[in-house]
Amino acid sequence: MKFYFPDSQDQVSPSYDFPNDEHSPFRVRQRDDLYAHQAVTPAPYEGILVSKAIVDGSAKGAGKYTTPQRERLYRLGVRDFFRLPKEMSSLGDCGAFNYIDEEIPPYSVNEVLDFYEGCGFDEGVSIDHVIFGYAPGAAESDVDQAWVTRRRISLKLAEDFISAVEARGNKIEPLGAAQGWSPASYADSVVRLQEMGYKRIALGGMVPLRTPEIMDCLDKINEVRDRDTNLHLLGITRINSMEKFFERGVSSFDSTSAFRQAFMDERNNYHTADRTYTAIRVPQVDGNPMLKRLILAGAVSQAAAIKGERECLQALRAYGKREAKLPEAVAALDNYLTLVDETKKQKYLTSYEETLDDRPWEDCSCLLCKALGIEIVIFRGSERNKRRGFHNMTVLEAKMRGLQFA
């Protein structure tokens, strides 16, 4: 089972100064910053996925790449741009969720192939159009006709895509994108894609589905899937079901879930083999909008906030080095968070104490936890938060490695 990590230009600076919370004045991001496959060993994924919408933009506006980054990607190619190891694959797609509100996808087949060829991808997904809902027992005549139209658009573009790949003599491996609103409609899409000549098929639009619903779709697809057809799950992890997915023809998947939980989830920020922990929020006085408003309004003393922040970080670091006891660290944290947000303090403080008491970073063998110690569980700024996301992916990689894929 192969895991692809969707790129959004997530890198970390190896020279970042954590005690002073500042970057080196000599840092050059595109030269010095590291991707996850450079920051941890072994690499936490077997390939990267890059969306055209992220690089070139879409109907929603500009992508996440600056103009110089975009030009450098096209100039260097995906392998050199991302400094990919020889064994790592590159997969391109269109980023269908970025144009989900449009009536038709904003790209032509030739534009997408120009992107794939121009960047030198190993594999590329045909253009698809996401269907908004799921109605497992519904026939084509019973559902919103926009769903029917979107499936037809996806299939027509897939047909044009594989024909254009063949006509251009392109070496890229094509993946046909299947959309549906039910097990039967997904299975029918797979049948049609196989008839077009696709040996790899990407199942799109399943992110909102519950695991049993995904399994129902895979069971129905398996009834019509050629034995040499491999499936890719777009945006799906579901680690506890991976072996069952594999049995039903899934050979690869992509997801940012483990990474994004590090800084987007309310509580499940730091992953271990058997559970998750809540990262400890220590807002920056000069970077937290709520705290800045309170200071400007005179509700919080800036001097008191700076003092509380400094003492909180000192206490946490001393605790991490076993130079302070748990009650001291919790007291300093309590004092600072009372100034910042009393409501959030009451919501999270017990979870923070549990994280500190268990010291999970000490049991982790990943390079980031060994290097950073307690800093890895402090929720504060992108350098810590992204590193915690990279750590989470190492946990996912280890879990995948431990599964038995026959």
Compute the distance between CA of residue 170 and CA of residue 272 in angstroms, rounded to an integer: 42
Compute the distance between CA of residue 81 and CA of residue 242 in angstroms, rounded to an integer: 31
Please report, for residues 35, 105, 360, 373, the alpha-carbon distance to residue 39 in angstroms, rounded to integers and kept in the order given.
Answer: 6, 36, 20, 15
Residues 177 and 128 sit within 8 Å (Cβ to Cβ): yes
Which of the residues 10, 128, 188, 254 is marked catalytic? 254
> Which amino acid, residue 165?
V
pTM above 0.85, yes or no: yes
pLDDT value for 60: 65
Helix, coil or strand: residue 108: coil
Which of the residues 10, 56, 93, 128 is marked catalytic? 93
Residue 71's CB is within 10 A of a number of other CB atoms, namely: 11
- Walk me through the domains of the chain, giving residue ranges and CATH numbers: 46-255 (3.20.20.105), 265-397 (no CATH)
The rounded mean pLDDT for the chain is: 94
> Which amino acid, residue 70?
R
Concerning whether 93 is annotated as a catalytic residue, the answer is yes
pLDDT digits (tens, 9 = 90+) for 51-60: 999 999 876 6
Residue 57's CB is within 10 A of a number of other CB atoms, namely: 17
pLDDT digits (tens, 9 = 90+) for 294-343: 888 888 899 999 999 999 999 999 999 999 999 999 999 999 999 888 88
Concerning whether 33 is annotated as a catalytic residue, the answer is no
pLDDT value for 59: 61
Residues 179 and 205 sit within 8 Å (Cβ to Cβ): yes
Residues 248 and 277 sit within 8 Å (Cβ to Cβ): no
Helix, coil or strand: residue 227: coil
Counting every residue written for the chain, the total comes to 406
Is 90 exceeded by the pLDDT of residue 291? no
